Amino acid sequence: MAKKKTIDPKDDLKNQPVPEGEHLLVVDNLKMYFHTQDGVVKAVDGVSYTLDRGETLGVVGESGSGKSVTQLTIMGLIDMPPGKIEGGDVRYRGHSLLEMSEAEMQQIRGNDIAMIFQDPMTSLNPVYTIGRQLGEGLRLHRGYTKEQALKRSIELLEMVGIPNAEQRVKDYPHEFSGGMRQRVMIAMALACDPDILIADEPTTALDVTIQAQIIELMQEMQKKNGNAIIMITHDLGVVADVADRILVMYAGAPVEFGTAEEIFYHPMHPYTWGLTRSIPDPVIDEKHPLTPIKGNPPSLVNVPKGCAFSPRCPYATDKCRTEKPGTYTDANGHYSRCHYSSDPEFVRKNAPENSRTRAHAAAKAAAAATQPAAPTTPVTEGGEA
Ligand SMILES: Nc1ncnc2c1ncn2[C@@H]1O[C@H](COP(=O)(O)OP(=O)(O)OP(=O)(O)O)[C@@H](O)[C@H]1O
Ligand code: SF4
Ligand SMILES: [Mg+2]
**13-51 per-position pLDDT tens digit:** 887 888 888 899 999 999 999 999 999 999 999 999 999
The rounded Cα 23 to chain-centroid distance in angstroms is 17
Q: Is 67 touching ligand 1 by the criterion CB < 6 Å?
A: yes
Q: What is the pLDDT of residue 367?
A: 58
Evaluate the omega torsion of the peptide bond into residue 82 and state whether it is cis, within 30 degrees of 0.
yes
Nearest CA to ligand 1 atom 18: 66
Nearest residue to 185 (alpha-carbon basis) of 147, 208, 143, 214: 214
Q: Which of 256, 276, 312, 339 to probe ligand 2 with, by most ligand atoms within 8 A of CB?
A: 339
Contact present, 325 and 257 (Cβ < 8 Å): no
Residue 4 pLDDT more than 50? no
* Interval 135-177: pLDDT, tens: 998 888 888 899 999 999 999 998 888 899 999 999 999 999 8
Å from CA of 307 to ligand 2 middle: 6
Q: What distance in Å separates the CA atoms of residue 238 and residue 255, rounded to the nearest whole number?
A: 19
255 lines ligand 2 (CB under 6 A): no
SS3 39: strand
| pLDDT greater than 70 at residue 366 | no
**Alpha-carbon distance 2 to 100, whole Å?**
9
Q: For residue 216, what are the CA distances in angstroms to 34, 238, 281, 316?
A: 36, 12, 21, 40
Mutate to test the pocket of ligand 1, among 33, 60, 65, 117 (most ligand atoms within 8 A of CB): 65
Q: How much is the CA Rg of the chain, to the nearest whole Å?
A: 21
- Is pLDDT at 213 greater than 60 in this prediction? yes
Q: 96-105, 121-130, 243-252: lowest mean pLDDT where?
A: 121-130
Q: Which of 159, 222, 223 shows the shortest CA–CA distance to 231? A: 222
Give the pLDDT of residue 124.
Answer: 87
Q: Is the pLDDT of residue 2 over 70?
A: no
Residue 316 has pLDDT above 70, yes or no: yes
Name the closest ligand to CA 306. Answer: 2
Alpha-carbon gap, residue 43 to 86, rounded angstroms: 11
Residue 333 C-alpha from the chain's centroid: 20
Q: How far apart are CA 293 and CA 49, in angstroms?
A: 25
The yes-or-no verdict on residue 356 having pLDDT over 80 is: no
pLDDT score, position 341: 95
Q: Is the CB of 85 under 6 A from ligand 2?
A: no
In this prediction, residue 377 has a pLDDT band, given cuts at 50, 70 and 90, of very low
Confidence at residue 311, expressed as pLDDT on a 0 to 100 scale:
96
Q: Tell me: the pLDDT tens digits for 236-269? A: 877 887 899 999 999 999 999 999 989 988 999 9
Sign of CA dihedral 92, 93, 96, 101: negative
Res 277: pLDDT: 84
- Predicted local distance difference test score (pLDDT) of residue 334: 93
Q: Which residues pair with 87 in a beta bridge?
A: 31
Contact 276, 227 (CB under 8 A): no
Please tell me the predicted confidence (pLDDT) of residue 5: 42
| pTM (two decimals) | 0.86
Q: Is 339 in the pocket of ligand 2 (CB under 6 A)?
A: yes
Ligand 1 centroid from CA 63, angstroms: 8
Q: Is the CB of 194 under 6 A from ligand 2?
A: no
Largest CA distance in the chain: 67
d(CA 195, CA 313): 38
Kind of pairing between the strands at 83-92 and 25-36? antiparallel
Burial (Cβ within 10 Å: 0-12, 13-18, ≥19) of residue 242: middle
97 has a pLDDT exceeding 70 = yes
pLDDT at 180: 86
